[in-house]
Amino acid sequence: MSATTDNKRLTIRDIHALRRGGEKIAMLTAYDYVTAGLVDQSGVDIILVGDSLGNVVLGYETTLPVTLDDMIRHASAVYRGTTRAMVVCDLPFGTARDPETALSSAITVLQQSGCQAVKIEGGGAAAPIVARLVEQGIPVMGHIGLTPQAVHQLGGYYKHGRDAPAAQELIAAARDLQKAGAFALVLEFIVPEVAAEITRQLDIPTIGIGSGPDCAGQVLVINDLIGLNTRPVPGFARPRADVAAIIRQAVGEYVSDVKQHATAQTKEAAIG
């Protein structure tokens, strides 16, 4: 089953229809034209151009160095490579610090990339920012729990909602973001029982990552899914392939062929 029966690009209405119909929403990241096209052809509902590109594409330790220009460049390539999936772009660190800055950033992203929506990290404090964008016609996906842009403030990467006060804070934040107009909410690295309760209380879809199976959908970084990494993958990610091994083998064989061919030519020249 799919949200549409033709090749039209999915919209918020389609995503909400999946939620109402009880069909799980499949979301993946992508950062380039070719990968986005393959992901799109495979039936993913939403493609997120995440600021995780800082880690998996640009080689940074955190997402903090990623700029708005970085996001626009990659989001534009992803959008050009797709025809069906809804495309959402992260607003990177510092570009959504207040409602007016976020509005300016979001307008720039949508105008220059073609994406249909932006994603903003943050709990209840982000609700006024979300509301400002929504009132201007900009679709916003929220993001709570582990928010990588706040890694220094959070003190590292860990499971969120472990005790009752923390769980209640997450639930309240989720409700605030829904009230502000967010069309969906990413729940990252949240205790599964808490993520399930948030999903139960919200009308909008929740998209889990490392937050258990009871969210309305799931998202993964494409590199973690296909095993295209030089660093360890998160414990909650289960690679479905080992593309890194395929690349190493192919390149190794190529290097070997080149070296052997060069050696053969040298020997032939010496004999001649």
- The residue from 121, 188, 193, 268 that is catalytic is 188
**Cα distance between residue 140 and residue 117, in whole Å:** 6
Q: Is 188 designated active site?
A: yes
Q: Annotated catalytic sites, by residue?
A: 188
